Amino acid sequence: MEISEAKLGNGFLGTLPDSEETPQIVIRDLWKIFGRDPKRILKGPFKNMKKEIIQKKTGCILGMRNINLEIKKGEFYILMGLSGSGKSTMIRNLIRLVNPTSGSIMINGRDITKLNNEQLIQFRRDTFGMVFQHYGLLPHMTVLDNAAYGLKIKGLPKDERYARAMPILETVGLRGWEDYYPGSLSGGMQQRVGLARALANDPEILLMDEPFSGLDPLIRRQMQDELVELQDKLKKTIIFVTHDLHEALKLGDRIAIMRDGEVVQIGSPEDIVTNPADDYVKEFVRDASPSKVLTAGSIMENVKVLLYAWEGPKTALTHLNANNRKSAFVLNKFHQLLGVTKMETLLKLISSVDKPPVIPESAIRKITTVSPDTILEDLFPIVSENPYPIPVVDSDNRFLGVVTTDQIFESISVSEGEENA
């Protein structure tokens, strides 16, 4: 797939696949300025001044400056930055809890900055689910009633909203807790209720503003893992605000790093860590472990010898001898990986009375595979149990390449060496 880069104004849109698919969210030239007569900042010399100078000279606070973003349907998109960077202002503009000073926000082809109050309320109900750091649960309602609260606001009868909320509670791991009250639940469980409440409406877009920052580290990691699994099933468009780099690297398909109300870099986790746009981003990602960012697809190599099951044992043995190999991967006619076979196994087949015309399934050992986006950290346990290079396959089990132990550790050491240079 070809990759193209796009810029609009001074907001970098990042790398997007060339596709006819229209992004679900398109933000153009978005500004938010707090204070008296904010539009005056967009005129004259103020427009290009630094945030601190604008505030000193005018009393106005720059929340966002000329933001341009495109977010695809089903994408897990991270807004990351330090306190005051504008990330929470951005997410509040998306649902117009805060109204932008200028610019447009197109969602499903509709400019929400032009909606009146009645249209906006309906659009929020139909489109968004929201999960924030503070769970906002109603203490006098049960877990089930809290999860179904959005459906109650929509006017659905009790039986119907319970029928829709119960499967979601099960999805987030709260089966059996539906009759309890929030005060009986741990922080992680309360956040699950908040997530269930957002999902019960079956929203197209899930907005999550620092949802796990109030949890202790162990529960936080668990919630991150559960969210990754949940997204794999539901494939929602998720916009997730965090100041935690490791959280962003773990969860995001793409990351937009913000500073002083501006987007300074957009890219995949690997792009951000390996090619920081400036010193600010470099400092931001300085402590990121390459093993948590680099992927199997980024370091995999081709192999010299591949065997094909239909060629037969003698042909396969000839290939191994010619390349001084003791074993090799075996593919079928669709280039799908069947497993690995060894020279000694092929020799037994050739010397057997019933010489098979193809490499039989019994002669092929199954082997653990990984996808191109598997991070290096997840390869470590496979390496320790596997005497062969790790095969990388696509979603249809088609063979793409291999990752060796040497490649893994060389990639990590090179990345760490560059960071310390």
Contact assessment for residue 136 and residue 194, using Cβ atoms and an 8 Å cutoff: yes
Q: Would you call 371 helix, strand, or coil by DSSP?
A: coil
Largest Cα–Cα distance of the chain, in whole Å? 93
Structure tokens belonging to residue 311: 């060629």
What per-residue confidence (pLDDT) applies to 219?
Answer: 78
Name the CATH code of domain 297-413 (choices 3.30.360.10, 3.20.20.100, 3.10.580.10, 3.40.50.970).
Answer: 3.10.580.10
Q: So what's the pLDDT on residue 287? A: 64
pLDDT in tens, 267-303: 988 888 888 888 888 887 776 666 677 788 888 888 8
At residue 207, the pLDDT reads: 93
* DSSP letter (8 states) at residue 205: E
In the block, which residue shows the tokens 């509670």? 169
| The pLDDT value given to residue 224 | 85
DSSP 8-state class, residue 295: B
CA 405 – CA 384 distance, rounded (Å): 9
Question: Collapsing DSSP states into helix, strand and coil, what is residue 86?
Answer: coil
Residue 359 in contact with residue 264, Cβ under 8 Å? no
Residues of the chain with CATH 3.40.50.300: 72-290
- Of the candidates 346, 409, 350, 338, which has an alpha carbon nearest to the alpha carbon of residue 379? 409
The per-residue DSSP string of 224-258 comes to HHHHHHHHHHH--EEEEEES-HHHHHHH-SEEEEE
Compute CA distances 163 → 261, 286, 356, whole Å.
43, 48, 57
Q: How many residues are present in the chain? A: 421
Residues of the chain with CATH 3.10.580.10: 297-413
Query: Would you call 290 helix, strand, or coil by DSSP?
Result: helix
Successive 10-residue mean pLDDT values, the chain, 421 residues? 31 41 91 91 86 90 93 94 88 92 94 93 89 82 91 89 90 88 87 88 90 78 84 91 86 92 91 86 73 79 89 89 91 92 91 84 91 84 84 92 82 53 45
C-alpha pair distances (Å), 2 with each of 5, 18, 186, 252: 10, 6, 46, 21
Amino acid of residue 396 = D
Class for domain 72-290, per CATH? alpha beta
pLDDT of residue 288: 64
Helix and strand numbers (H, E) in the chain are 16, 17
294 and 412 in contact (C-beta within 8 Å)? yes
